[in-house]
Amino acid sequence: ICRIDANRLVIFGGSHGGFLTAWMSAKYPDLFKAAIMRNPVTDTTNIYAGSDIPDWAFSEAGVSYSLTSPPTVTPSMYSTLFQTSPMSMVDQVKCRTLILLGADDRRV
């Protein structure tokens, strides 16, 4: 039987895993002692404009997106994108956090 030491629980993820790590550390602020994120998407409102995968942000937010006819972002859509972004809960994070970023990553 494996035992987990709750006083030493750390979460780690890269890319989409970094996005999930950001969410988990904000959603469960008392669970993790540290969070490590490699090239995480932390704000989906920024990724749709300058990324090679703009449809991903809309998909995460549950908003329809057409590659042949991208939507015009309305204030309501922008709000939805932000609310489904880890950045919307950044003030909830309590654990020590290390964010590792690559200088040439177009997605973060």
CB-based contact 71:77 (threshold 8 Å) = yes
CB-based contact 21:2 (threshold 8 Å) = no
List the one residue out of 97, 93, 77, 105 whose CA is nearest residue 13: 97
CB-based contact 9:32 (threshold 8 Å) = yes
Q: What is the pLDDT of residue 67?
A: 84
Q: Walk along the chain (108 residues) in steps of 10 and give the mean pLDDT of each run.
A: 87 95 97 96 83 86 87 90 94 96 75
Q: What is the pLDDT of residue 108?
A: 64
